[in-house]
Amino acid sequence: MAFIEARGIGRVYPGGVVANDGVDLSVEKGEVHAVVGENGAGKSTLMKILFGIERPDAGTLSLDGRQVHFDGPRDAIDAGIGMVFQHFSLVPSFSVYENVALGSEPRKGIRFDREAAIARVRGLSEQFRLNVDPMPPVRTLPVGQQQRVEILKALYRNARVLILDEPTAVLAPQEVAELFVAIRSLIEQGCTVIFIAHKLPEVLEISDTITVMRQGRTVGTVKAKDVTEHELATMMVGREVALRVDRAPRAAGAEVCTVSNLRLVNARGADVCRDLSLGVRAGEILGLVGVEGNGQAEVMEAIAGLRHVADGRIVVADQDIVPLSVLRRRGIGIASIPEDRIAEGLATGASVAENIVATRLKDRRYVRNGLLDLKAIKANAVRLIEQFSIRVNGPAVPVGTLSGGNMQKVVVARELSEQPKLLLVSQPTRGVDLGATQFIWKTIAAARDAGAAVLLSSADLGELLALSDRLLVFYRGRIVAAFHNREGLSPETLGTYMLGLSEQSPEELRAGL
Amino acid sequence: MNEFLLTVFSAAFLATVIRTSTPLLLATLGGLISDLSGALNVALDGIMLIGCLTAVIVSHYAPWYVGVLAGIGAGAAVGLVMAFFHLRMKADIIIVGFAIGALATGGTVFALSLATGGDKGTSINLPSGAVPAVDLSFLGAIPGIGPALVAIFSGHSLLSWVAAFLVFAIWYFLYRTPWGLWLRAVGEYPAAPEAAGIPVNAVRFWSLIVSGALAGLGGAQLAMFNFIGFTANMTAGRGFIALGAVLLGARHPVGVMFAALLFGAFDGLTNVLPGHYPWIPPELIRMIPFAVTILALLLFSYRAQRALALRGVKA
């Protein structure tokens, strides 16, 4: 019997969504076991059951040969299971050691024994080659380090099994490499790692065994060395997939958007970027590459009108748009697919139809004499739901009840139902399943082919390389490299620039710009 | 003018500041605890008022310390009620707070008239106990500064010294014990303590109870030392000033102590100014602490807004 055995796990959420339906998982001691599947395949639910957050409606769970029941995370932690979520649960103002010790503090009388906590955290960090200083507040740390603080938290509680939920989603390639070093060191010292992911090359690199899930069931378990990326993708989706976009080579047209000498500042008044210039032409996709927090998101926000411009010009269609409101900018043909669809892209309590019409409240087709034309709005929504194959039971359904992929399709439908001059796209497929990803990519590429200038920023280098015609690498608010996207441009090359390890000469930059 | 300044910088005035600050400081500490746990306690004023009345009535029949304990108990009970509605019944904490406030304003007058047999203004027919003063006149033996020390520090309510100790105790609790770490974590980012297996709701529950207890203690001090006896709406907005003091004190025990002293000083001025400037209407003077609170909050809001504006968020 395997170290961790889950047999016939079933979980139905209130509302009737079947998240797990007879799922089996067996993990051997001391291996890296990946669980892969599209969003909505039931991976997260299974992990929440393993960690005691959800209770299964059916099935059994055993650990080290003994059957176990977890009534909450505490039980799972006591049984030696630790979990690192995609969204970290760290208190921003607390130091690393305070975060790690929180809830299991060493005590001296009634006092929190800080020295003991610091020593313990430092020891664990060295033992598992995590390379984390216990003293600084976590909000000052980069994402990769914060993630390792989460790993420390689990180890501090004597976890022998570590569940990592999509750990690479937020990391740059070099940070992924560091994470993998830590994972290997964990395995060497007898830990077991369960690794949730959907980026297949990484899965194949780090894991020993892979369990594939689809629509709440396990499709199969394979050894990583016996399987190819293509086979895995087919298992995940249940049909052949081609994650390729055919980019018809075409000559880019006139420059649609010109950003010159842009300066943006953050809350503390420090520069986010200064003296930044770039241009996008009609019919090209310009990819903005960079680890999150290096200014690319802020530049997009500034163009969209969501961020104050401290200095510089943004010219779209021969007009400086800096003084224009968001509405006026939309009027001249700027469309925007924002990074956080729930916070910025949609009103989750409103219906699909209302969300789709939300940017057109001055359009006489939908609003007449200050009154909504509900029939026209509904007809428009029905048409777009069909055209963008949004899976929803009608236009009146609240957007918040849709899956991530379908929510994103609602945003895409709204922004691209009319051909924009300039399209701003941030993280278009974060948390979106493969099928929807393929669709969204095609839609963006179609907008480009129809002559839109597209600015794309994404944490997923694969996405940037698949879609972009040109790529600009941001590091600390500056453009440090520019490339034409040709065969042979690798994520590793981009990674070196993303982490500031090297920088192009002005001549090379000019060639790419 | 000179005479006025002499008064303000006199030992007697400093003693007045300590005296007027004490109930405010106790309520402020209560506000600090609930604020750090993530709940803005707008019921502080009402809880103080309930503490006042309870302390007065109980101390009529029992020794003074039973009256004080009853004030604390009544405050804690109101905190418990708030916690029940907010955490168990999922009601909005601000709405619950204002409901408690409205209940306290009317309820205390109603209870007063029942207890005194019809009197709706004051508890003059119900002589209450007083918190004893701490006599430090032996300090006068110190050569040089002795008399000044006596003038400033002697004769204060025992609860003033308790309040000063509580500043230290709460600081120690918040920054030196595991439970203080829990409380701050719950207030700042509840997902983290939740994931660490800390009973987040229990922490919030206890915070509201302790917050109420401290406001109740502040009420007891107000009605059994600053004034003897209960008057309708005698807190006069001190609970709201306390909320301002929490923010002005940067949500740190020592900071809020200084903020409470500052507000106490303005309160003291309302006693001193009319003697020197009789032409200033007393109503205007009584507005000073509120004006200062509003200015302080505006300053904070302005700083927060400017930070947001720099981040590019448009209001």
Query: What percentage of chain A has pLDDT greater than the value 90?
Result: 54
- Torsion on CA atoms A108, A114, A115, A116, rounded to nearest 10: 60
Kindly list the distances between the CA atom of residue B32 and the CA atoms of A130, B91, B257, B299, in Å, as whole numbers in the listed order: 37, 21, 10, 19
Query: What is the pLDDT at residue A268?
Result: 67
**DSSP secondary structure string, A394-462?**
-TTSBGGGS-HHHHHHHHHHHHHSS--SEEEEESTTTT--HHHHHHHHHHHHHHHHTT-EEEEE-S-HH
Beta-carbon separation of A308 and B310 below 8 A: yes
Query: What is the pLDDT at residue A244?
Result: 63
Instruction: Give the DSSP letter of residue A303.
Output: H
Altogether, the residues listed in chain A come to a count of 513
Query: What is the pLDDT at residue A16?
Result: 67
Mean pLDDT of chain B: 90
Query: What is the pLDDT at residue B125?
Result: 82
**Average pLDDT of B1-10?**
75
**Average pLDDT of B97-107?**
95
Bridge-partner residues for A85, per DSSP?
none
Q: What is the band of A438 on the pLDDT scale with cuts at 50, 70, 90?
A: confident
CA torsion sign, B187 to B192 to B196 to B197? positive
**DSSP secondary structure string, B110-129?**
HHHHHHHTS--SB-TTS---
Separation CA A410–CA A415 (nearest Å):
9
**DSSP secondary structure string, A330-377?**
HHTTEEEE-S-IIIII--TTSBHHHHHHTT-TT-TTTEETTEE-HHHH
List pLDDT tens digits, range A16-72: 667 888 899 999 999 999 999 876 788 888 999 999 888 999 999 999 989 999 988
Gap from B306 CA to chain A (nearest CA, Å): 8
Q: Which residue has the higher pLDDT, A501 or A477?
A: A477
Q: What SS3 state is found at A309?
A: coil
A234 burial level (CB within 10 Å; 0-12, 13-18, 19+): middle
**Average pLDDT of B81-88?**
96
List pLDDT tens digits, range A206-261: 999 999 998 888 989 999 999 988 888 888 877 655 556 666 666 778 899 999 99
Could you tell me the two tokens for B300? Answer: 């904070």
A121 burial level (CB within 10 Å; 0-12, 13-18, 19+): buried
Is the pTM higher than 0.90? The answer reads: no
Q: Which residue has the higher pLDDT, B272 or B242?
A: B242
Separation CA A338–CA A341 (nearest Å):
6
Which chain B residues are within 8 Å of A112, Cβ to Cβ? Answer: 176-178, 180-181
A134, pLDDT greater than 80:
yes
Query: What is the pLDDT at residue B315?
Result: 36
**Average pLDDT of B82-102?**
95
Task: Write down the CATH number for the domain with range A4-237.
Answer: 3.40.50.300
Burial A285-318 (b: 16+ CB within 10 A, else e): bbbbbbbeebbbbbbbbbbbbbbbbbebebbbee
- When scoring A112, A163, A265, A299 by the number of chain B Cβ atoms within 10 A, the one with the most, hence best to mutate, is A112
Separation CA B209–CA A330 (nearest Å):
52
Which chain B residues are within 8 Å of A307, Cβ to Cβ? Answer: 311-313
Q: What is the band of B314 on the pLDDT scale with cuts at 50, 70, 90?
A: very low
Long-range CB contacts (< 8 A, 24+ apart) of B179-182? B179/B203, B180/A112, B181/A94, B181/A98, B181/A102, B181/A105, B181/A112, B182/A102, B182/A103
Q: Which H helix or E strand runs over A213?
A: strand A209-214
Beta-carbon separation of B188 and A307 below 8 A: no
Gap from B69 CA to chain A (nearest CA, Å): 25
Q: Does residue A72 sit at the B interface (CB-CB below 8 Å)?
A: yes
**Average pLDDT of B70-84?**
97
Q: Does residue A306 sit at the B interface (CB-CB below 8 Å)?
A: yes
A363, pLDDT greater than 80:
yes
Query: What is the pLDDT at residue A27?
Result: 94
Q: Does residue B185 sit at the A interface (CB-CB below 8 Å)?
A: yes
Amino acid type, A32: V
Report the Cα–Cα distance between both ends of chain A, in Å, rounded: 59
Query: Phi and psi for A197 in degrees, rounded to 5?
Result: -160, 165
- Among the ranges given (A202-216, A285-299, B128-142, B284-298), the one the predictor scored with the smallest mean pLDDT: B284-298
Q: CA-nearest residue of chain A to B197?
A: A74
Q: What is the band of B208 on the pLDDT scale with cuts at 50, 70, 90?
A: very high
**DSSP secondary structure string, A65-87?**
TEE---SSHHHHHHTTEEEE-SS
Q: Does residue B189 sit at the A interface (CB-CB below 8 Å)?
A: yes
Q: Which of B181, B195, B307 sits opposite A73 (nearest CB)?
A: B195
Beta-carbon separation of A90 and B182 below 8 A: no
Beta-carbon separation of B188 and A92 below 8 A: yes
Q: Which H helix or E strand runs over B210?
A: helix B200-221
How many helices and strands (H and E) does chain A possess? 17, 24
A185, pLDDT greater than 50:
yes
Amino acid type, A79: A
Separation CA B231–CA B128 (nearest Å):
12
List pLDDT tens digits, range B219-240: 999 999 999 999 999 998 899 9
Residue A495 in contact with residue A173, Cβ under 8 Å? Answer: yes
B313, pLDDT greater than 50:
no
Q: CA-nearest residue of chain A to B173?
A: A111
Domains of chain B: 2-310 (1.10.3470)
Q: Which H helix or E strand runs over A259?
A: strand A255-265
Q: Does residue B201 sit at the A interface (CB-CB below 8 Å)?
A: no
Q: Does residue B312 sit at the A interface (CB-CB below 8 Å)?
A: yes
Which chain B residues are within 8 Å of A90, Cβ to Cβ? Answer: 189, 192
Beta-carbon separation of B192 and A266 below 8 A: no
Residues of chain A with CATH 3.40.50.300: 4-237, 255-342+418-512
Q: Which of A304, A346, A311, A309 is nearest to A328 (CA)?
A: A304
Gap from A90 CA to chain B (nearest CA, Å): 5
Cβ contacts of B283 within 8 Å, gap of 6 or more:
none
- When scoring B170, B177, B186, B201 by the number of chain A Cβ atoms within 10 A, the one with the most, hence best to mutate, is B177
Which chain A residues are within 8 Å of B311, Cβ to Cβ? Answer: 266-267, 307
Beta-carbon separation of A302 and B312 below 8 A: yes
Separation CA B240–CA B41 (nearest Å):
9
Query: What is the pLDDT at residue A72?
Result: 85
Q: Which of A99, A110, A112 sits opposite B192 (nearest CB)?
A: A99
Which chain B residues are within 8 Å of A107, Cβ to Cβ? Answer: 178
List pLDDT tens digits, range B268-298: 887 788 778 888 887 787 777 778 778 877 8
Amino acid type, A331: G
Query: What is the pLDDT at residue B61?
Result: 94
Q: Does residue A180 sit at the B interface (CB-CB below 8 Å)?
A: no
**Average pLDDT of B80-105?**
95
Query: What is the pLDDT at residue A473?
Result: 93
- When scoring B184, B186, B189 by the number of chain A Cβ atoms within 10 A, the one with the most, hence best to mutate, is B189
Q: What is the band of B133 on the pLDDT scale with cuts at 50, 70, 90?
A: very high
| Domain made up of A255-342+418-512: CATH architecture | 3-Layer(aba) Sandwich (3.40)
Beta-carbon separation of B185 and A302 below 8 A: no
Q: What is the band of B63 on the pLDDT scale with cuts at 50, 70, 90?
A: very high
Q: Does residue A165 sit at the B interface (CB-CB below 8 Å)?
A: no
List pLDDT tens digits, range A371-403: 999 999 999 999 999 999 888 888 999 998 887
Beta-carbon separation of A112 and B196 below 8 A: no
Gap from A319 CA to chain B (nearest CA, Å): 22
**DSSP secondary structure string, A99-143?**
HHHTTS--EETTEE-HHHHHHHHHHHHHHTT----SSSBGGGS-H
Beta-carbon separation of A94 and B185 below 8 A: yes
**Average pLDDT of B84-91?**
94
Q: Does residue B307 sit at the A interface (CB-CB below 8 Å)?
A: yes
Q: CA-nearest residue of chain A to B180?
A: A112
Residue A358 in contact with residue A384, Cβ under 8 Å? Answer: no
B17, pLDDT greater than 90:
yes
CA torsion sign, B219 to B124 to B154 to B237? positive
Q: CA-nearest residue of chain B to A83?
A: B195
Gap from A473 CA to chain B (nearest CA, Å): 23
**Average pLDDT of A344-356?**
92
A274 burial level (CB within 10 Å; 0-12, 13-18, 19+): middle
Q: Does residue A422 sit at the B interface (CB-CB below 8 Å)?
A: no
Kindly list the distances between the CA atom of residue A50 and the CA atoms of A217, A377, A390, A470, B191, in Å, as whole numbers in the listed order: 16, 45, 32, 44, 19
Altogether, the residues listed in chain B come to a count of 315
List pLDDT tens digits, range A467-496: 999 999 998 889 999 999 887 888 888 888
Q: Does residue B315 sit at the A interface (CB-CB below 8 Å)?
A: no
Q: Which of A85, A99, A112 sits opposite B176 (nearest CB)?
A: A112
Gap from A219 CA to chain B (nearest CA, Å): 31
Beta-carbon separation of A91 and B177 below 8 A: no
Gap from B217 CA to chain A (nearest CA, Å): 25
**Average pLDDT of A143-172?**
90
Query: What is the pLDDT at residue A100?
Result: 96
